[in-house]
Structure formats: structure tokens, C-alpha cells
Amino acid sequence: MQHTSAEPIAIVGLGCRFLGSSNTPSKLWDLICEKGDILKRIPADRFNAESYFHEDGERQGLMNVKHAYTLDEDIREFDAAFFKTNAREAEAMDPQQRILLETVYEALESGGLSIGDMQGSDTCVYVGSMTGDYHEMLMRDSQDMPKYMANGMARSILSNRISYFFDWHGPSMTIDTACSSSLVAVHEAVQALRMGTSKVACAAGANLILGPEMMISESKLHMLSPTGRSRMWDASADGYARGEGFGAVILKTLSQAIADKDNIHCIIRETGVNSDGRTNGITLPSSESQTTLIRQTYARAGLDWNRDKCRYFEAHGTGTPAGDPIEARAIHDAFFPSKTADGGDVMYVGSVKTVVGHLEGCAGIAGLIKASEAVRRGVIPPNMLFERLNPGITPYCKNLKVPQQPIPWPETKDGAPRRASVNSFGFGGTNAHAIIESYNAGSVKPAVQKPESIIPNPLLLCNLNQHAQVHAVHYAGLSCLGSLDPSAGCLVHTGRA
């Protein structure tokens, strides 16, 4: 079968909310490189984890975990007036909808995209989501259901609310393939751009932990780590740690992004999705299907799996005793099938889950954001929670290495881009893969050039209430002081501040 290379997709905007105040990709990168340990007990304002705890996770109605990677921010806060939502409707809105609106807004802002210019456009929205804890909370008291519960709770509204607020007219879908949901959302967004359905695409993921029900059910299946740690490929790995997070990427075809003079963060060279089919159990992964997906995705990109292999691989890496060796074998078989492979041909493997936990419906985009920062900066990121290799993975690690410290990216040949791969798997068998590359702007003039001397720019405010204006000025001031970036005024034309 002949494969042709499709046009690369440019990431022109990114937004995220993760634990550890990682509310920008650069702050997430700092957290990863500092190897900060931010695990904490499940806060009491979510639910009383202690009352549901028992060391035996199979006890009826109980769970064997007390910890999770929950967001630092108060998830009850929401500027309803700014998002043109009345108070009663905002009260019924799943907090995932609220924070997702903010995250998408920040992704647009990071790319300097004009919200006014995009209004009425064919922009499409694909959101990955796995849980609906707020719905389960409100259903506990059927006598006190809010008026707007139907559109506040429906998962379809996660994507539809974004299209509604920004007045975007392209496809708008919420996708649930469990833990691969958000990377499948990226795949669908890529396809929409290549087919010409939309000129701009938004792909996002969301995950909040508001109740014990999911943890109780996952404890019964021995999926969760009793110690609350996702120890990817480590001998002491005992399951995954749940985490909260939101991520959004704004995408265009590369030619469109260049024509629009966008700031191109990095390139999505290709994406792919497949299924495990029938295995020994619906939750048991297939290394053969994972290997096939990697090979097929590289082939569609016009890349040779041997000559053009990535140097960094962002693994699904949940830290489960069954899943980790299967994924290690799949990566090994995809790139190093020969027993005589050169041991000096190293591929580094890591997972963002060791830092922020397993974000489930947002896990794929979290890995994508981490990989995009790595190729952009030219640094192999370190992995946390790794002391001794799982013996079941040893046969596949002649060429695969888990980095312990930040490593300069190996020099590429003949001006080739830095390349990374991203895996994301759903526990029902839906696998997603993406190939990420650095972008060499060459002669493309950057959107904002820093002057040699710092000249203050004016900060203009529009369409915000008085309280929000004060908060925006404070936040922008802190951001500029922290980065020594004099270009705060460049945010003016996005329509916020």
C-alpha cells in the first residue's frame, strides 16, 4: 500500500490548568524539570475520602486511596458575567464546563488570536471527557435539582458550550474513549482541518474529581495505586494515581498558520487511532495493536520507523503492572524489532503522569503539551518516581531509557526537526498516537520581537466588569514582572486585556 504525506498541522495556541499552579505550558514545564512532588490528600471540599477508605479496595462501597492530584484553585469560582451566563444557569453548570471555557479562552489568547475575528467562523471543537461527577452529585437529591441541570450536566455541552460562547459554527463534539479521549479529540480536529471542514480547530480535554464513585469502582478493578503514585515502568508500580486537569490546543494547517503569520508553537506531523479488538479481557491492552498503530502513523506521515524514529516518547505510562510491560514491548517492537539493534541508538521514554497524575479524559492532551514543550525547547524532560526498572520491562530496554534529569536533545541530522511521539490508551481498547515535531520558523517573522531595551507597552482593558479589570491588571503585572516581558500590550487585540 502506498502512503502519502498529509499536510502537517500547526499548534498556534495552548492553554492548560494542572496541579501545582501549572496554568500555562511553561509553568508545567518548570514543574516537570524541577521534579516537584505535588501529590496531596483529597481535599474535604470534594468529599470525605477518609470515610470511604479501606485498605482492601474490594470492600463494598469503599476505596483504597486517600490521595489525588487535585487542582489548587477554587473550582467554585467563575466569572459568569464575562461568559454571558446568568447566575442560575452558571450554578447548574458542571465546573468542567466553566474551567474548560476559561482554558480555551487562554489558549486563544496565548496565540494572539482575535476572538472577534473568529466569531461566526467554521471553527470546530472536539473535547475529550471521561467523567461526570457533578451530575452524580446533583442526582443524589432529586428534590433539589436546579432548573438548568439538563444543559448544565450533559457531556455534549462540554464542546457545545465552547462553540456557543465563541459563536463557532464548525463541528462540535464531545468524545469519550476513556483515558485516550483528548488525544482522539486532537485526531478528529486534525482530520477536520485536512478535509477542509474548518480553517481553525480547537481540541481539548477535561477532568475533575468531585465524588468517590469512580474511585470506588476503579479500586474494585485494582486499577488505582494505594500509595497515590503513578510510577511508570518502576519495579514498585502498583497502579495509577488520579489527577485533575484541563488542556486545550488551537490548530491550523501549517500553510494556513504561515499565511496568517501565526506564532507556531510546534507541528503535529500525524495522528492515528485504532482499537485492540478482542483481547483476554476488555480492559487488557494489546501490544500488537499498539505497535501497529505507531508504525501506521509513521507510514502515513511519510516517515521511516527506523531512519526517522523519534528521540523522545511520551508514553501512556500509567504505572500499572499489566499495562506498562505491554506498552514497553509495543514501543520496542515498533522501533527496535531486531535483536541486533545498536544499543547506542537511544530513545528516551517518560510520562507526564508521574508529575500530575493520570488525568483520564485530559491525559492525552497533557502528554501532547509536555511533548510540544520538549521539542520546542530542545530538552529531553526528566521522569519522576523512578528508582528501579520493572523486571518485566528489562527485555525491551536495550534502547529505551527513562531519563532522570533534563538532557539536551540529541543533535539531528541534516536540519531534521526534533521529533517526539505521544501515546494515549483507553481502558476499553481505543488507542491514539501523535507525532510531534519542532518548527523552524526560518524566514517567518515572529509575531512579537522583544526590543533590546525594555519599553513599557500600554495595557488596554475591554469588556470586563470592574472587579475583573482589577484582577486582570494584577495578573498581567505579575506575569510581566515574572518573565521580564515588556510585550503585555500585545494581548490587546485578542479582546481581553
Q: What is the pLDDT of residue 289?
A: 98
424 and 482 share one domain? no
- Tens of pLDDT along 20-74? 889 999 999 999 999 878 899 999 999 999 999 999 999 999 999 999 999 999 9
Q: Is residue 449 part of a domain?
A: no
Tell me whether residue 68 is in a domain. Answer: yes
Check residue 440 and give its pLDDT.
Answer: 87
| Model pLDDT, residue 441 | 75
Is residue 323 located within the same domain as residue 215?
yes
The pLDDT value recorded for residue 479 is: 47
pLDDT at residue 258 greater than cutoff 70? yes
The chain-wide mean pLDDT, for the chain, equals 89
Close Cβ partners of 443 (under 8 Å, ≥ 6 residues apart) = none
- Would you say 201 and 256 are in contact if contact means Cβ atoms under 8 Å apart? no
pLDDT of residue 446: 36
Q: Is residue 444 part of a domain?
A: no
213 and 264, same domain (yes or no): yes
Neighbours of 119 (CB within 10 A): 13
Mean pLDDT for 230-255 is 97
- Are residues 101 and 158 both part of a single domain? yes
Pair 122, 190 in one domain: yes
User: CA neighbours within 13 Å on the CB side: how many for 122?
Assistant: 9
Q: Is residue 446 part of a domain?
A: no
Residue 391, Ramachandran bin (φ over 0: left; ψ between -120 and 50: alpha; else beta): alpha
d(Cα 225, Cα 385) in Å, to the nearest integer?
13
- State the pLDDT at residue 5: 54
More confident residue, 489 or 150: 150
Q: What is the per-residue pLDDT for 146? A: 77
Residue 176 inside a domain? The answer is yes
The Cα 441–Cα 12 span in angstroms is 13
The answer to whether 360 and 130 are in contact (CB under 8 A) is yes
Q: Which of 169-183, 187-201, 482-496 has the lowest mean pLDDT?
A: 482-496
Is there a single domain that holds both residue 203 and residue 267? yes
**Could you give the number of structural domains in the chain?**
2
Could you give the CA distance from residue 376 to residue 152 in angstroms, rounded to a whole number?
38
Q: Write down the pLDDT at residue 136.
A: 82
pLDDT at 36: 78
- Percent of the residues in the chain that have a pLDDT greater than 70, as a whole number: 87
Please indicate, yes or no, whether residues 255 and 372 belong to a single structural domain of this protein.
yes
The answer as to whether 450 is a domain residue is no
CATH number of the domain at 41, please. 3.40.47.10
Residue 141's pLDDT band (cuts 50, 70, 90): confident
Task: Report yes or no on 391 lying in a domain.
Answer: yes
Cell of 185: 479529540
Identify the domain containing residue 462 by its residue range: 458-497
Q: What is the pLDDT of residue 156?
A: 96
pLDDT at 300 over 50: yes
In a domain, 15, yes or no: yes
* Percentage of the chain lying above the pLDDT 90 cut: 78
pLDDT higher than 90, residue 426 = yes
Q: Kindly state whether residues 412 and 464 are assigned to the same domain.
A: no
**455 vs 173: which has the higher pLDDT:** 173
pLDDT at 322: 86
In the predicted structure, residue 405 carries a pLDDT above the cut 80: yes
- 426 and 464 share a domain? no
What pLDDT digit, counting tens, does each position of 427-481 carry? 999 999 999 999 987 533 333 333 333 344 455 455 555 555 555 555 455 444 4
> Are 352 and 488 found together in one domain?
no
Same domain for 268 and 129, yes or no, is: yes
Residue 259 has pLDDT above 60, yes or no: yes
Which triple of cell numbers denotes residue 40? 496531596
Domain boundary among 387, 404, 437: 437
290 and 396, same domain (yes or no): yes
Confidence at residue 7, expressed as pLDDT on a 0 to 100 scale: 95
Predicted local distance difference test score (pLDDT) of residue 37? 85
Where does a domain end: 437, 469, 486? 437
